[in-house]
Structure 1
Amino acid sequence: MSRNPLSAMFHGPERPPEEAGFFWRGGPFEVADRTWHTSLGSGVTAFETSQGLVLIDTGTEGLAPKMASGLREFTQAPVHTAVYTHGHLDHAYGLPAFLLPGQSAPRVIAHSALPARSARYSRTSGYNEAINARQVSGDVTKRRLRFTPPPIPPDTLYDDSTSIEVGELTFELRHARGETDDHTWVWNPEHRVLCPGDLVIWAVPNAGNPQKVQRYAWEWSDALRAMAALNPRTLCPGHGAPLVDEPETIQRLLLETADYLDSIVDQTLAALNDGAPPHTDIVERVTLPSSDSPWLRPIYDEAEFIVRNVIRYYGGWYSGRPSELKPAPRREVAAVVSELAGGVDILLARAALAVEAGDLRLACHLADWAVESEPTDERVRTGAAAVYEARAEAEESLMAINIYRSAAHYARAGRPFR
């Protein structure tokens, strides 16, 4: 069994970064003595101690049985403790699959904000089912995930930090708001293994998601720097492959990602402080950082969305454009724009020219006005959908791709955008 699934990437012929990236599936790999990491949709790390297993995250309800089956090829120890790094469905819902028949209930630890997250899910279950379907497939009609509380909720909560001992091993838990407000990262000093949860996902940090609740890029950066100060030997991320016995690479990953976030936050705040210009102007003024590192590819979230999340936290919802403070119905605006342009045919023809010129941002504005002006016209629906599909093809991040795919789907169906 390999102790480092990525050794060739850093010590031999370079392998494609997607082999390590956000969508990586593999394991169990032994990452330290009697310690394994496995990933299927999300990562699970299992530490075997004399008192039983300590699990850091537990996967989804549907995929956990396969991960548990693989783990049980190496250990039959009962689960003593499970730590949920946060309350998302791909981290806190698979615990039952890891339990041995008849074993006593394990201790389950999480941050004190996790129960409130579960309550929010219950109050907005329909919304969350829709946006997750759109984010994954581009079609809100394909709802598969059910937003209910974890099947085994935490019984032990902490606030800022806590430390536990299980058998011969120590686990230090620290809270850091990042992708979520209930996030925990875990440090095992004996093996120098770091389990950052979704604070590391082998992609641009999910700090901007345009459809979901507030993210905290500045605190995320602080947490990454605190992790780097521990000089981890091994990193087992929330998504993607583990880095085993790679302390120098881990330092680079953590600090590069912190610098990436700091650049976005600092530039956004500077623009906000320069007279509170309209939000779109702020986005245009920020020089979005780029990187060739495999852990900073914009395959899931992207830098432009992170800018908007920083604005949302510090700047409120008003965009800075007077018409958008109390706007007219979009269909009325679209009808007037169409009339001034000389009809929807002209709008669509101009949108097609913009697509040809590579100006997909402008093309989408024109397509919006056309389809909102004449939503029942088959030619308009088809033309607008073609623009949105072209935009999806040109995007890199999963979030942007599937939002545009969703727009195309609903334009073709003659239904309101969802």
Structure 2
Amino acid sequence: MVRIILTTLVLVASFTGCWGLGFGTPSPNKWPLSVLEADEYLRNHSQIFIPRRVINVGEDIYSAIGYALANMIMINGPDGIVIIDTTETMIDSWTAYEDLRNEIDDWTKPLVAIILTHFHTDHYVGTFRLLEHAETQGWNVRIFTHETTLDEMARSSVLKLYASRRGTRQFGDALVLGQELLNAGIGLESKHNDTIVNDTLVPTDTYRDNTTVQLAGLEFELMRTKGETDDQTSIWIPSKRALFCGDNLYEAFPNLYAIRGNPNRYAKAWYESLDKVRALGAEYLIPSHTEPVVGAAKIAALFTNYRDGIKFVFDQTIRYMNLNYEPDDIVMQVKMPPALAYHPYLLEFYGSVDWSIRSIYQGLIGWFDGDAASLNPLTKKQRAHKIKNIATLPAMLENAKASYDRSNANLASSGFAINEELQWALELTR
């Protein structure tokens, strides 16, 4: 029981300390932030998502933000409605859809198409609720995805139970919103359906690399832009100079690796995709997880900085790998330059530079770090038994508590936790 309690305390302290990244642009003179300052930045970050609302972007484009983890986007075309992404729940999908429809005060115009940017559940599960309503109206709705989206869904379903447990931990689903959980980084919180959704998504239209299609009286270009996922679709409406970039850009450092578990996300492909969409010269940028951005110069600068952040971490990881550094050592060496580290769209609310480095390393050469001792490691249980022969359990717990107390004392006197001490306490009690 002592071990469980101490481990929990260390985890809380560690995550509170690493929330030292914030909303807006922290001044380099105030870096690193104290725990209280970091907490304030994280609370301010929530203001992106609350209150939930429909944003009139312009050019008959609307974004429903704050209804669920992901946004729902509506294009009001001359001949119908097109929806991009449908959130993760049936209830929130319908609420967002109602508010979007009410924004234009027209329920007679048919829903002609739903475009899904990728296979993650927070982007497609609500589709079924919209299709139910469309059927009652006699509307024929086309569903667009990349040709690999169904394969990605099938692959991820193999580990559905395991992934669900880890996803619950990543997004803090068991925590009390507003108290223990301030936000989920890319949205206020991840939501869940009240009942199991058994429907199977069946796209009517898929594409391989790029395709152009006429929908609702408008021309849409669908482009494969590998990044957060391999099936990621970006949508471009030339007549409106409007770009919908899915999950390839957040108002947070990207998850080059998600701690819930995912196949390697190739960082080089991600930043090349950002270059591809930046070249379009969009006047309107509508992401799937944050507020829209208006203005060609502002959008171009944003894509440049986001690209540079990902490319810097990738290039520096490669550099130190070629210098024969191991992952832990690379993490200690690679620090983002201030111009990127303090950028409001690159603060580590969601992804982490350290985790990204480890993912890039493993994605390129696999799990083995080159140290012979890592080839056939002891299990955690075997290691614990061996350590018990040289250090008693009470002694380890005492040492762990001492490390925790040192960090706590420093927190009380200076406002800063000591991550190394917290990490050691965590390793001693796991």
Task: Tell me what 2:170 maps to.
Answer: 135
- Whether 1:95 aligns to 2:127 is yes
Contact between 1:61 and 1:93, CA under 8 Å: does it hold in 2?
yes
Q: How does 1:113-132 map onto structure 2 within 5 Å?
A: 113-132=148-167
Cα distance, 1:107 vs. partner? 0.9
- Whether 1:31 aligns to 2:57 is yes
Task: Tell me what 2:413 maps to.
Answer: none
CA shift digits 1:184-210 (9 cap, x unpaired):
011111111110001122111122213
Task: Tell me what 1:212 maps to.
Answer: 261
TM-score (norm 1): 0.77
Any idea what SS the aligned residue of 2:144 has? Answer: strand
Task: Tell me what 2:214 maps to.
Answer: 165
Task: Tell me what 1:56 maps to.
Answer: 84
- Whether 1:234 aligns to 2:284 is yes
| Pair 32,138 (structure 1): closer, same or farther in 2 beyond 3 Å | closer
| Pair 345,133 (structure 1): closer, same or farther in 2 beyond 3 Å | closer
Task: Tell me what 1:221 maps to.
Answer: 271
Q: Which amino acid aligns with 1:281?
A: D
> Gaps (5+ residues) in structure 1?
1-8, 10-15, 373-418
Any idea what SS the aligned residue of 2:123 has? Answer: coil
- Whether 1:284 aligns to 2:332 is yes
CA distance in 2, matches of 1:201, 1:88: 15
TM-score (norm 2): 0.75
Contact between 1:177 and 1:220, CA under 8 Å: does it hold in 2?
yes
Task: Tell me what 1:365 maps to.
Answer: 424
Percent identical: 23
Contact between 2:88 and 2:192, CA under 8 Å: does it hold in 1?
no
| Pair 149,117 (structure 1): closer, same or farther in 2 beyond 3 Å | farther
Q: Which amino acid aligns with 1:239?
A: H
| Pair 253,25 (structure 1): closer, same or farther in 2 beyond 3 Å | farther
Please, what is the CA RMSD of the aligned residues?
2.7
Task: Name the stretch that deviates more: 32-41 or 294-303.
Answer: 32-41
Q: How does 1:263-342 map onto structure 2 within 5 Å?
A: 263-275=312-324, 277-289=325-337, 290-341=340-391
Cα distance, 1:65 vs. partner? 1.1
Contact between 1:107 and 1:154, CA under 8 Å: does it hold in 2?
yes
Task: Name the stretch that deviates more: 36-45 or 85-94.
Answer: 36-45
| Pair 271,150 (structure 1): closer, same or farther in 2 beyond 3 Å | farther
Task: Name the stretch that deviates more: 258-267 or 311-320.
Answer: 311-320
Q: Which amino acid aligns with 1:347?
A: N
Contact between 2:404 and 2:421, CA under 8 Å: does it hold in 1?
no
- Whether 1:43 aligns to 2:92 is no
Q: Which amino acid aligns with 2:230?
A: D
Any idea what SS the aligned residue of 2:345 has? Answer: helix
CA distance in 2, matches of 1:314, 1:303: 17
Task: Name the stretch that deviates more: 212-221 or 171-180.
Answer: 212-221
> Gaps (5+ residues) in structure 2?
1-23, 25-42, 176-189, 411-416
Any idea what SS the aligned residue of 2:122 has? Answer: coil
| Pair 123,165 (structure 1): closer, same or farther in 2 beyond 3 Å | same
CA shift digits 1:38-65 (9 cap, x unpaired):
1222112211223311111111224111
| Pair 353,339 (structure 1): closer, same or farther in 2 beyond 3 Å | farther
CA distance in 2, matches of 1:148, 1:326: 42
- Whether 1:18 aligns to 2:45 is yes
| Pair 138,332 (structure 1): closer, same or farther in 2 beyond 3 Å | farther
CA distance in 1, matches of 2:50, 2:256: 20
Task: Tell me what 2:404 maps to.
Answer: 352
Any idea what SS the aligned residue of 1:237 has? Answer: coil
CA distance in 1, matches of 2:200, 2:332: 44
CA distance in 1, matches of 2:63, 2:205: 24
CA distance in 1, matches of 2:375, 2:323: 21
Give the alignment partner of residue 118 of structure 2, picking from 61, 71, 86: 86
Give the alignment partner of residue 68 of structure 1, picking from 97, 100, 124: 97
CA shift digits 1:138-193 (9 cap, x unpaired):
759x9957997865431211111111112431111111221111100111111111
Task: Tell me what 1:111 maps to.
Answer: 146
Give the alignment partner of residue 226 of structure 2, picking from 167, 177, 198: 177
Cα distance, 1:362 vs. partner? 4.3
Contact between 1:133 and 1:143, CA under 8 Å: does it hold in 2?
no
Contact between 1:56 and 1:84, CA under 8 Å: does it hold in 2?
yes
